[in-house]
Structure formats: C-alpha cells, structure tokens
Structure 1
Amino acid sequence: MKKSNVLCALLVLFCSCSSDNLESISTDYQGKWELYKMSGRIADSETMGTAMEWQEYYSFNPDGSFIKSRTRNGIKTEISGSYTISRLQDESFFELSYKTDSEIIGGCYGNNKEELHILPNATLSSTWKNCDGPGLEYKKSN
C-alpha cells in the first residue's frame, strides 16, 4: 500500500512539473517571430535578411491563436490558426493548425498543419526541411 502511495505521489509531481514547464514555454514564446535564415539542401545555400526569397513572421497570441504572414515579390499573404505546445522527450515544439489551405503553409503532409521546434538557442526551426522544403529559422523580434 505504501509503495502505491509513493508511486502516485511521484506521478502527480512529475505531471505537474511538466505542465508548469509547458506553461512557461508558452508564455516565453508569445509574440512576433521573424524569419532570419533560410537554407536549402545544396551546400552553402544559406541566405539571411533581404537576400532571402521571402520575408515571413509568426505572431503567437496568449489565447492559442496565431497569424503567419509572408511577403514575396511585394505581395503579402496572411493566414491564421491555432497552436499548442507539445513536448516529446527533451524537445518542445509548436503544433500549428490552420483553418484553410494556403501556399504559405510549410508542412509535410498537406493537412493544414506545421511544426516548429523550439531550439536551445531561443530560435524556432520549421520541420518543413524534413520533407524537401527549405530550412527556415525564426528569432523573436518583440
């Protein structure tokens, strides 16, 4: 009986710690994140700043909503959706869900979803590169 009580107490402690951690991550990452680096599969194909093919940002709101904006060839495209922050082993990531389809969704499966990994250097990295898309990295601007 004592062993099961200790096990239950440890389980509650573990769950509450991981929830607090995700809550602090969510608060730390709210705001505007701008694309600062783009890379391709070819060696030395990294571009930054105005040399990139397009300019882009995400704006994450406290209510779990976000806006993605891309400007390419002077044309601005915006799309919105909702996000959650998940944790798998030692990695945290944003799971983005869009209400409608758009050419600016950088996902691998065509299901109106994207993932952005939260890197230790306080940047976000798109998983689009895992399925032949460009490597995209974002820095918080405010």
Structure 2
Amino acid sequence: MKHFVILVAFLSIFNSCSKDAVVNDSMGYYGKWTLVKMSGSMANSETTGTAMEWQEFYLFNTNGTFTKSRERNAIKTTISGTYVTSIHSDGMYLELTYPNDSEIIGSCYGNQKEMLYFTDNNNLSNTWKSCDGPGLEYKK
C-alpha cells in the first residue's frame, strides 16, 4: 500500500507539469481555422465577419507544419512554419514557430512564436490579448 501511495503522489506531481504532447488529432485541430471574432481591451469592441480589420486563417497539417494567411486592405500575406502541442494545467496549446519575422505574427514577445489555445467551446484563441494585442478567435 505504501508503494501505491508513493506511485500515485509521484504521478500526480509529474503529470501537473507542462509537457510537449505527441502531435495527434484528438482535439480535431488539423485543417483550416478561420478568424471569426476580434476583440479589444475596451468593452463592446468585438467585431465579426467583414467588419473585422482583417481576414485570416491557419491551416494545420498532420506533419507538424502550418500556414497562416491574412488579407488586409486587399493585400494578402502568407507565412508557414512548424508547430508543437503542449499540455498545461488549463488545457492544450499549439506553439507555432516561424522561420523569419512577419507583421502577421501575433506575439507578446516580439519573437517568431505564437501561442494558441483551445477554448471551452472548442475554438482556438490567441494569447496575444494578454499583452494588449487584439483577442482573436478562430473556428474550424
């Protein structure tokens, strides 16, 4: 019994840490995710559809690569990169890494990475909003 308690305690501590997950489609994230909602830090600043400042989508491939495309003022910008999944205490995240800098990378840190997470309603949302960027929500 003592060994069982130690094993359960060890597994609980080990499992609570963040870790990279094997890329699988258990969350159904492969495919195209389209921007459906933008919000700012002020109340009632939510926009949807053609009223949004830009139109955008991510395309997640099964081989760990993705493409992001944005159209703003009739100018289309596209960039590709790689992604990994990670599990945190509040859910699953996609960490996107770009090969070079681009104006369409939404990051708090100015690096070539973005973080997206799954919301309770199985949409994707960005973490950029936590540092005064727009809140962006994507639907498959």
Same fold (TM over 0.5): yes
Q: Which residue of 2 aligns with 1:25?
A: 26
Q: Distance in 2 between matches of 1:74 and 1:66?
A: 22
Match of 2:3 in 1: 3
Change (3 A) 1:20 1:97: closer
Conserved? CA contact 1:34–1:57, under 8 Å: yes
Task: Show the counterpart of 1:83.
Answer: 83
CA distance in 2, matches of 1:54, 1:90: 29
Q: Secondary structure at the match of 1:130?
A: helix
Q: How far does residue 21 in structure 1 lie from its aligned partner after superposition?
A: 8.6
Whichever residue aligns with residue 55 of structure 2, its letter is: Q
Matching of residue 113 in structure 1 with residue 113 in structure 2: yes
How far, CA to CA, are the matches of 1:98 and 1:49 in structure 2? 27
For 1:86-130, what per-residue CA distance to the aligned partner results, in whole angstroms no more than 9, with x for missing partners? 001131110000001000000010110000011120100001101
Other structure's SS at 1:45 match: coil
Structure 2 stretches lacking a partner, 5+ long: none
Would the aligned equivalents of 1:36 and 1:138 in 2 still touch at CA under 8 Å? yes
For 2:64, the equivalent position in structure 1 comes to 64
- Aligned residue for 1:125, secondary structure, equals strand
Question: Structure 2 vs 1, CA of residues 19 and 110 (structure 1 numbering), >3 Å: closer, same or farther?
Answer: closer
TM-score of the pair, normalised by structure 2? 0.85
Structure 1 residue 19: Cα displacement: 8.7
Identity percentage of aligned residues: 58
Cα deviation 1:16-58 (Å, max 9, x = unaligned): xx998963436x1000000000011111010000000000000
User: Which is helix-richer, 1 or 2?
Assistant: 1
Tell me if the contact between 1:83 and 1:97 (Cα under 8 Å) persists in the aligned partners: yes
Kept in 2, the 8 Å contact 1:70–1:76? The answer is yes
Task: State the 4+ residue runs in structure 1 displaced beyond 2 angstroms.
Answer: 18-26
Per-residue deviation, residues 4-25 of structure 1 (Å, max 9, x unmatched): 7x839x95xx97xx99896343
CA contact (8 A) 1:35 1:137 kept: yes
Q: Secondary structure at the match of 1:29?
A: coil
Aligned length: 134
Q: Show the counterpart of 2:134.
A: 134
Q: TM-score, normalised by structure 1?
A: 0.83
